[in-house]
Amino acid sequence: MLLDHLRSFGTARVAMGIEVVGLDGRSDDVQVTLRDVETGETRIVHARYLIAADGARSTIRDALGIAMRGPGRLSQAIGTEFRAPLWDLLGGRRYCIYAVTHPDAAGVFVPAGRGDRWVYGVEHDLAQEPAPRLTKEQSARLIRLGIGLTDLEPRVDRIGTFTFAAQLADRWREGAAFLVGDAAHQITPRGGTGMNTAIQSAYDLGWKLAWVLRGWAGPQLLDTYEAERRPVAAHNVARSADPHGGARLAAHELPADLGGRIPHVWLPSRANAVSTLDLLGPGLTLFTTDPSASWQRAASSIPGPPLVVRNLDAITARGMGIPHGGALLARPDGAPAGWWPSRTEPDAALRHAIRALPTPSEAVDRSAEGASAR
C-alpha cells in the first residue's frame, strides 16, 4: 500500500535490496554510497537532505557518530511465527492484539498477515537469566496452552527474539542528515507508543522539509524538528521503560501524544464523515466563524505559505475553542500557529503569525526546484 502510494507521485524511485556502505555528510548536502546486495555493484547518490529511517541498528546513525543513551537490554521477548485457524475460534472478536494470562503461557497473540498467520510473544526477564532457546515442539505446546486447545497443531515457521530497549539518540541531526523512528528513539512495546512516536516524528520532519524545499519557509524551520519532537520521544521512552507504563491513564498521556493539536470535531451535515483534522492541508489552514468575511479577505492578500480558509458552523467552532468572529490558524500537523478572539484586526494578526515562521532564503528558493529528499 505504501509503495503504491509513493509511486503514484510519478517522481519517486524505489530501490529494493540496496544497502548504505558509505556516507559523506556536508554542510549543504550529502553523498551516499549504495551497494546492490545481489550484484555487489555500487553507486553514489547526491541529495539535498538524507532521512535515516533505517531502524534500531541504524547504519547511518553509526556513520554520523551519533550515540544512543539509555538501557539497551531491559528484557527480551521470544516471538514465534506460526499458522493456525484461530479466527474460527475467535469468531467476531477481531482485535489487533490478544493478551493471555495463563500462568504457564502468559503472552500475547498478534495477527501477522492475511489468513491464519500469527505471532505469539512471551516476555522474558533478562535480569534473572538469559532467554531460553525454544524448540518448535516447545513453542507449539505453549501456543496450545495459551489458546486453550489441547488438540491444536500449529505450524511453527520461525522462532526469534526481540530485545526491549529504551534509548534516545544524542542528537537527531548532523548537517543535512536527520534521524527518524527507531534510529532516533527506541521504545519498548509497553503501552504501544513506538510506532505512534515514529509516525508523528516522520510526519513532522516531512512537512517541514517540504516547506523548505518549496521555498515556503527558511531552513531554520528544520531546527524545530528535534526541538518539538524530542520531548515527546523522551517522555514515551521513559514511559516504556516503566514496567507499569502501559497501564497509565490515557487522560494523563494524551497531552504528550497530541502535543496541543487542534481538537477533532465531526462536521455536521456531511454525506461522509469529515473531521476538522481532515480539513488540514499542506500549507496553513485558517478556521473561522467570521460572518463579515474579514478573515477571508485578509488571508487572500498576505504573502507566504498557501493559506486556506475554512468557515465553520457555530457548534463546530465552539468545539474547537473558537469564539464567534474569532479565528484559529493551524499548521499541517494540526499544531496551532495563532488563535484570536473576536474584534481582532485580521490583517495585522495574520501577518504577525506568518512572520513568526522562518522566512525563505534566496538559497532555499534556488534549491526548491528539482531538489529531493531521500
313: domain CATH number is: 3.40.30.120
Per-residue pLDDT reduced to its tens digit, 83-130: 999 988 888 888 888 989 988 888 899 999 888 999 999 887 655 566
Pairwise CA distance, residues 158 & 70, whole Å: 30
Q: Which residue has the cell 549504495?
A: 34
- 245: DSSP letter: G
Identify whether residues 178 and 242 lie together within a single domain.
yes
Average pLDDT over residues 14-33: 87
- Neighbouring-strand partners of residue 75: 164
Pairwise CA distance, residues 323 & 317, whole Å: 7
Mean pLDDT for the chain overall: 88
Identify whether residues 60 and 24 lie together within a single domain.
yes
Query: What is the structure's pLDDT at 227?
Result: 94
315 in Cβ contact with 340 (< 8 Å): no
Identify whether residues 180 and 57 lie together within a single domain.
yes
Q: Which residue has the cell 481532515?
A: 278
Per-residue pLDDT reduced to its tens digit, 295-317: 999 998 888 899 999 999 999 99
Helix or strand run (H / E) with residue 346: helix 346-355
Alpha carbon distances (Å) from 69 to 66, 165, 241, 242:
10, 10, 13, 16
Pairwise CA distance, residues 219 & 361, whole Å: 8
Identify whether residues 59 and 81 lie together within a single domain.
no
Does a structural domain hold residue 172?
yes
Q: What is the CATH number for 142?
A: 3.30.9.10
Identify whether residues 188 and 306 lie together within a single domain.
no
Average pLDDT over residues 159-166: 88
* DSSP helix, strand, coil percent of the chain (3-state; round to 5): 35, 25, 40
Percent of the chain exceeding pLDDT 70 equals 93
Domain residue limits at 208: 2-71+167-258
Q: How far apart are the first and last CA of the chain?
A: 19
> Residue 345 above 90 pLDDT?
yes
pTM > 0.75: yes
Identify whether residues 140 and 128 lie together within a single domain.
yes
> Residue 370 above 80 pLDDT?
no
Identify whether residues 47 and 188 lie together within a single domain.
yes
> Residue 131 above 80 pLDDT?
no
Of 141, 164, 187, the residue that ends a domain is 164
Residue 374 CB-half CA count within 13 A: 19
Higher per-residue pLDDT: 363 or 195: 195
Per-residue pLDDT reduced to its tens digit, 260-270: 899 999 998 76
Does a structural domain hold residue 271?
no
Q: What is the CATH number for 205?
A: 3.50.50.60
Query: What is the structure's pLDDT at 126?
Result: 52
Does a structural domain hold residue 54?
yes
Identify whether residues 55 and 200 lie together within a single domain.
yes
Query: What is the structure's pLDDT at 363?
Result: 34
The count of structural domains within the chain is 3
Does a structural domain hold residue 263?
no
Of 144, 164, 184, the residue that ends a domain is 164
Identify whether residues 63 and 177 lie together within a single domain.
yes
Identify whether residues 171 and 246 lie together within a single domain.
yes
Identify whether residues 60 and 180 lie together within a single domain.
yes
In the chain, DSSP assigns E strands to 18-25, 30-36, 42-47, 50-52, 68-69, 75-83, 98-100, 107-111, 117-124, 155-164, 167-169, 173-174, 177-179, 185-186, 284-288, 307-311, 327-330, 336-340
Average pLDDT over residues 166-193: 93
Average pLDDT over residues 325-349: 93
Average pLDDT over residues 361-370: 35
Average pLDDT over residues 336-345: 92
Identify whether residues 30 and 152 lie together within a single domain.
no
Per-residue pLDDT reduced to its tens digit, 239-250: 999 988 888 888
